[in-house]
Structure 1
Amino acid sequence: MEVFSISGFLSYCFINAFTPGPGNLLALNTMVRYGFRRSRFLLAGIFLGYYAVQTACAFMVYSLGSHFESALGYMRYIGAAYIVWLAFHILTSRPGSDHTEKAPSLLSGFLLQLINVKIYMFGITALIGYVTPFSSSLGVILATSFLIATMGTCATTVWAFFGTMIQGIYDRYYLPVNLIMALVLLYNAFTMIVH
């Protein structure tokens, strides 16, 4: 792989990993609302889901069957619907309800990633655009997918801990913060459907 291709790959991955997406925004919101202790299982689910999806992407790219494009098309609508639901849930959440409400689980974080079309497209695009022109080896593709998932989990961790830093602000200004996060999620859902 050439230096130019490596720098393109890394910058593409960095931008995709750190831009707001469903996993990053859910991690941020959950940490703001529940703190680290009650959010750790959701974060673990998001991380496990990221690695599972990127492993699936590696096998999809490696085998490149004719059905995978249509499957992603259907997943786009399922993912967009879930993101709209998530945006509504974030918009209607209040800081005072956190003490009685159960924090999201490992399973909910994992399932979010399974239908998170952004990370499928992120992984597949990175693999097809930057890896397969140089190597079609399953080992190289899997190793690169592991790197993509690691970058994604690092980004989600940054978003989550940013949430703990703004918790005091959130308690005072939760309505505009929730509105902004919900609007960003609705934008994510919209871009999934129109692309």
Structure 2
Amino acid sequence: MDGYVLTNFFVYAIVNAFTPGPGNILALNTVTSYGWKKGKPLFFGIFIGYYVVQMICAFFVYGIGLFLPAVLQVMKYMGTAYILWLAIHIAISKPKIDENKKTASFIKGFLLQFVNIKIYMFGITTLTGFITPYSKALWVLIAFELLIATIGTIATSTWIGVGFLIQKFYIKYYRIINILLGLTLLECIWSMLRT
């Protein structure tokens, strides 16, 4: 793989990872609503789920490439339904200021990644567009998917950091912010359904 292709891989991976998606928006919403400490379980669920899904992508590309379009079509509609629910939930949610509230759940963040079609498409597109023309070895696919998941984790951490910094602003203007975040998720659904 030459430097030009590798550079394009990183540009695509960084742009894709930092754009709003279900994981990034849920992380931002959670840190502004719960704070860092109570949101940690959900954040770790998002991160671990991301790595697991990227490993699934590597094995899909490696082993069942012919069957993959049918699987992605089903996952696309499951993902859009969940993201629609998430958009509505975020748009109507209020900040949770009560210190006795329970923490955000690991399982919610973890399971989100399994219906987050954006990261499946991200992983599979990156492999088939940049990697498989040069190598189809399973260890190479896994290595690049681990790199993709690491870039995604850095991106989501950035969204968490921004959310932490704007927490007081968020509490004052939560309704407008939540509606904008919900609309952003609806745009994600729109772009998914157009393809």
Matches within 5 A, 1:143-154: 143-154=143-154
CA distance in 1, matches of 2:119, 2:95: 29
How far off its partner does 1:59 sit? 0.5
Question: Which one is further off, 86-95 or 30-39?
Answer: 86-95
**Structure 2 partner of 1:52:** 52
1:60-94: CA deviations, max 9, x gaps? Answer: 11113422211110111111111111111111111
1:131 and 1:141 in contact (8 A); partners too: yes
In structure 1, list runs of 5 or more residues that go unmatched: none
* Percentage of identical aligned residues: 48
Q: Secondary structure at the match of 2:78?
A: helix
Matches within 5 A, 1:149-164: 149-164=149-164
TM-score normalized by the length of structure 1? 0.96
AA partner of residue 3 (structure 1) = G
How far off its partner does 1:114 sit? 0.6
**Structure 2 partner of 1:25:** 25
In structure 2, list runs of 5 or more residues that go unmatched: none
1:31 and 1:160 in contact (8 A); partners too: yes
How far off its partner does 1:136 sit? 1.0
CA distance in 2, matches of 1:65, 1:129: 13
CA distance in 2, matches of 1:89, 1:28: 14
CA distance in 1, matches of 2:98, 2:84: 21
Question: Which one is further off, 56-65 or 170-179?
Answer: 56-65
AA partner of residue 66 (structure 1) = L
2:115 aligned with 1:115, yes or no?
yes
CA distance in 1, matches of 2:7, 2:97: 45
2:136 aligned with 1:136, yes or no?
yes
CA distance in 1, matches of 2:36, 2:119: 24
2:40 and 2:104 in contact (8 A); partners too: no
CA distance in 2, matches of 1:98, 1:74: 39
Q: Secondary structure at the match of 1:95?
A: coil
**Structure 1 partner of 2:4:** 4
CA distance in 1, matches of 2:128, 2:42: 30
TM-score normalized by the length of structure 2? 0.96
CA distance in 2, matches of 1:90, 1:101: 17
Q: Secondary structure at the match of 1:157?
A: helix
CA distance in 1, matches of 2:100, 2:92: 15
Q: 1:45 to 1:154 in 2, by over 3 A?
A: same
CA distance in 2, matches of 1:81, 1:102: 26
CA distance in 2, matches of 1:149, 1:75: 19
Q: Secondary structure at the match of 1:181?
A: helix
Number of residue-to-residue matches in the alignment:
195
How far off its partner does 1:120 sit? 0.3
**Structure 2 partner of 1:80:** 80
1:111-169: CA deviations, max 9, x gaps? Answer: 00011000000000000010111111111110000000000001000001110001011
Question: Which one is further off, 56-65 or 146-155?
Answer: 56-65
Runs of 4+ residues over 4 Å off in structure 1:
96-101
